[in-house]
Chains A and B, each alone.
Chain A
Amino acid sequence: MDILYQVFIDPFVQMVELPDFLLQVLWEGFVSGILYALIALGFVLIFKASGVFNFAQGIMVVFAALSLVGLYALGLPAYVALIATIAIMGVLAYVVERTIFHHLVNQPDIILLMATIGLTYFLIGFGEFVFGGDPKVMITEELGLPTGSTAFDVLGGLVILQHIDIAAAVIAIIMVLALAVFFNKTRIGRALRAVADDHQAALSVGISLDQIWVIVWFAAGIVALATGIMWGARSDVSFALEIVAFKALPVLILGGFTSIPGAIVGGLIIGIGEKIGEIYWGPLVGGGIESWLAYVIALIFLLFRPQGLFGEKIIERV
Chain B
Amino acid sequence: MLYREAGQFKTTYEADQAVFPILQDRIGVVVILVIALLIPLIASDFVLASIMIPFLIFAMATIGLNVLTGYAGQLSLGTGAFMGVGAYACYKLTTFFPDVNIIILVVLSGIFSAGIGIVFGLPSLRIKGLYLAVTTLAAQFFLEWCFIRIPWLYNYNNSGAIEVPERTGLGGFVLAGPASPPVTRYYVVLGIVVVTTLIMKNVIRGRIGRTWMMIRDMDIAAELMGVRPLFTKLSAFAVSSYICGVAGAMMVFFWLGAAEPSSFSITLSFQILFMAILGGLGSLIGCFFGAAFIWILPVVLRTGLPEIGIDIGAETVEHVSRMIVGALIIFFLVVEPHGLARLWQIGKEKLRVWPFPYA
Contacts and interface: CB of A to CB of B under 8 A. Distances in A.
Contacts of B219: 318
Interface residues of B, number: 46
Interface string A81-124: 00000000000000000011001100001110111011111111
Given A249-B134, A302-B131, A288 B322 contact: no
A316 to B, nearest CB: 6
Majority-rule SS of A interface residues: helix
Contact of A253 (B131, B320, B327, B328): B131
A121 B131 contact: no
Contacts, number: 137
A100 to B, nearest CB: 6
B127 interface: yes
B330 A303 contact: no
Interface string B229-251: 10000000000000000000000
Given A109-B129, A122-B326, A295 B134 contact: yes
A299 B134 contact: yes
A292 B141 contact: yes
B308 interface: no
Interface string B315-329: 110111111111111
A114 B149 contact: no
A209 interface: no
Contact of B326 (A125, A249, A288): A125
Q: Is the interface of B mostly helix, strand, loop or mixed?
A: helix
A180 interface: no
Interface of A: 53, 99-100, 103-104, 109-111, 113-115, 117-126, 128-129, 133, 243, 246, 249-250, 253, 257, 285-289, 291-292, 295-296, 298-299, 302-303, 306, 315-318
27 contacts: A100-B330, A104-B333, A111-B333, A111-B337, A115-B334, A118-B327, A121-B325, A122-B330, A125-B321, A128-B315, A249-B134, A250-B134, A253-B134, A257-B130, A288-B148, A288-B149, A291-B144, A292-B141, A296-B138, A296-B142, A298-B134, A299-B134, A302-B131, A315-B131, A318-B124, A318-B126, A318-B229
Which 9 pairs across A and B sit closest by C-beta, in order of nearness? A122-B326, A125-B322, A118-B329, A121-B326, A295-B138, A125-B323, A292-B141, A129-B319, A292-B142
